[in-house]
Amino acid sequence: MGNKNVPKTKKIGNLGEDIATRYLKSKGFSVIARNYTKKFGEIDIVARKQGTIHFIEVKTVSREIFDVNQKNVSRETDEYAPEDNIHPWKIKRMVRTAEAYLAEMAPEGEVEWQCDAIAILLDIGRRRSVVRMTEHIV
């Protein structure tokens, strides 16, 4: 994260994906890939748990968080939840990219899969975060 030429929003997004990856691993997921990209879309994280492949969109915002254990957030610097940025067109592109991934990486047949979202609320000053996972966004 030391590169000063990288835009702040990209740094926050990368940090959010790192946090999401650690969160998933702590919940028993195996992370298969990050930033799987096709010309029509990108999947932030591809993970597997109990035979199901999870295609995960990560949205991160920077906030001041006072009580991480209670998940109370105050002094919000953004007036929206990170999940608000997952629009229907984004979900459509995500599904299309997931289908391309499955055709490329699991051509042998039927595979259980789903699309999920992880919202990361960052308090960079205090080096804390709140993670919210929503499964089956499609």
Question: Rounded to an integer, what distance in angstroms lies between the CA atom of residue 90 and that of residue 57?
Answer: 9
Residue-level pLDDT at 74: 46
Burial grade of 100 (CB within 10 A; 0-12, 13-18, 19 or more): middle
Confidence of residue 77 (pLDDT cuts 50, 70, 90): very low
Three-class secondary structure of residue 73 per DSSP? strand
Q: Enter the tokens of residue 17.
A: 């994906």
- pLDDT tens digits, one per residue of 97-111: 999 999 998 777 778
Question: Rounded to an integer, what distance in angstroms lies between the CA atom of residue 78 and that of residue 19?
Answer: 19
Looking at the predicted structure, is the pLDDT value of residue 120 above 70? yes
pTM: 0.82
Confidence of residue 75 (pLDDT cuts 50, 70, 90): very low
Which residues, other chains included, contact 84 with Cβ-Cβ below 8 Å and sequence gap of 6+? none
Q: What is the DSSP letter of 127?
A: T
Question: Could you give all domains of the chain from N- to C-terminal order, each with its CATH number?
Answer: 8-134 (3.40.1350.10)
Q: What is the DSSP letter of 106?
A: -
> Which residue, 23, 63, 61, 21, is CA-closest to 44?
21
